[in-house]
Amino acid sequence: MSKKNMLRLAALTAAAALALTACGDDAADPGTGNGGEGTLRIGTKYDQPGLGLDEGGTMSGFDVDVAKAVAEKLGYSEDQIEWSESPTPQRESMLETGQVDMIFATYSITDTRKEKVQFAGPYLVAGQDLLVKADDDSITGPQDLEGKLLCSVSGSTPAERVAEDYPGVQLQEYDTYSLCVEALAGGRVDALTTDDTILAGYAAQEQWAGQFKVVGAPFSEELYGVGIPKESDMCEQVNEALTELYEDGTMDEIIDKNFGPAGYTPAPGTNPPTPGGHCG
């Protein structure tokens, strides 16, 4: 590490220590101690291969690795992270009630969500796409969904977009995308819509090998942010940490490691994004 980076890291760690001391006084936040002592409570997905996956207590995926790398920059080792599952419909309330300190969970930054929570990032830009059966050539984009049964998750931006922009589509909403994948495999729905990152992960998952394909015509920009409670003062520190992770090459390694196996490449026009502008 260069001297300049070491100094920046020292400053960042000191700032984090201060912030955490403040947090430690809060009765609603008993797990957080001084200067990286105690725990950092992080919410992520548990059922999204390549992004956030819990396999018998072992966490893996892009969001998990970004969370670990950010935690490290804030002075927390891996064993100081306390993971919990943050499904799409529960994310805002988990932050508002102080159940977690941060959420890394394919969490799109939106104005509506910003009324309730703040976001560090963006740290990746994904796009809404469709997952269909490998032999289905009838669906090439959302315009082909009229009269078809489409699955998504309630409270997600993809479900909201379909409801608004394609009112003729029959939308089946579940709490998790893995339930949608099972419905697609069982022929109970015709397609699944969410971010291309997530769909690529399912298509490549061993248990579904060869069964599905991602249509590959993204029709939105999903700016992934780190969800943080409004009253937290850690948002700018997380932005600095994310910026450093891009600058020092860590983010590229995390992207290759987690998206490589699924053959997914972040769209070059919108990536890498510049973190900032969504705190507060």
Per CB under 6 A, 46 contacts ligand GLU:
no
Check binding of 117 to ligand GLU (CB under 6 A).
no
Which residues inside 210-229 make contact with ligand GLU, applying CB under 6 A?
222
Question: Tokens 């984090």 — which residue?
Answer: 16
Instruction: Return the beta strands (E) in 45-89 as ranges.
Output: 47-48, 52-55, 58-60, 81-85
| Alpha carbon distance 39, 190 (integer Å) | 43
Q: Would you say 194 or 232 has its CB closer to ligand GLU?
A: 194
Q: Contact between 106 and ligand GLU (CB under 6 A)?
A: yes
Token pair for residue 43? Answer: 């919410």
Nearer to ligand GLU (CB atom), residue 108 or residue 232: 108
d(Cα 257, Cα 50) in Å, to the nearest integer? 9
CA gap 70, 142 in Å, rounded: 36
Binding residue (CB under 6 A) for ligand GLU from 88, 118, 178, 205: 88
Q: 29 φ, ψ to 5°? A: -130, 60
Beta carbon of residue 253, minimum distance to ligand GLU (angstroms, whole number): 23
The continuous run of DSSP H or E covering 12 comes out as helix 3-24
Task: Show the tokens assigned to 178.
Answer: 């893995």
Which residues within the stretch 9-28 sit at the binding site for ligand GLU (CB under 6 A)? none
Nearer to ligand GLU, 19 or 95 (CB): 95
Give residues 150-169 in contact with ligand GLU (rule: CB under 6 A). 153, 156-158
Whether 266 and 200 have beta carbons less than 8 Å apart is answered as no
Strands 128-133 and 212-214: antiparallel
Nearer to ligand GLU, 19 or 200 (CB): 200
**Residue 89 C-beta: closest distance to ligand GLU, Å:** 9
Q: Give min distance, CB of 88 to ligand GLU, in A.
A: 4
What residue ranges bind ligand GLU (CB under 6 A)?
88, 105-108, 153, 156-158, 194-195, 222
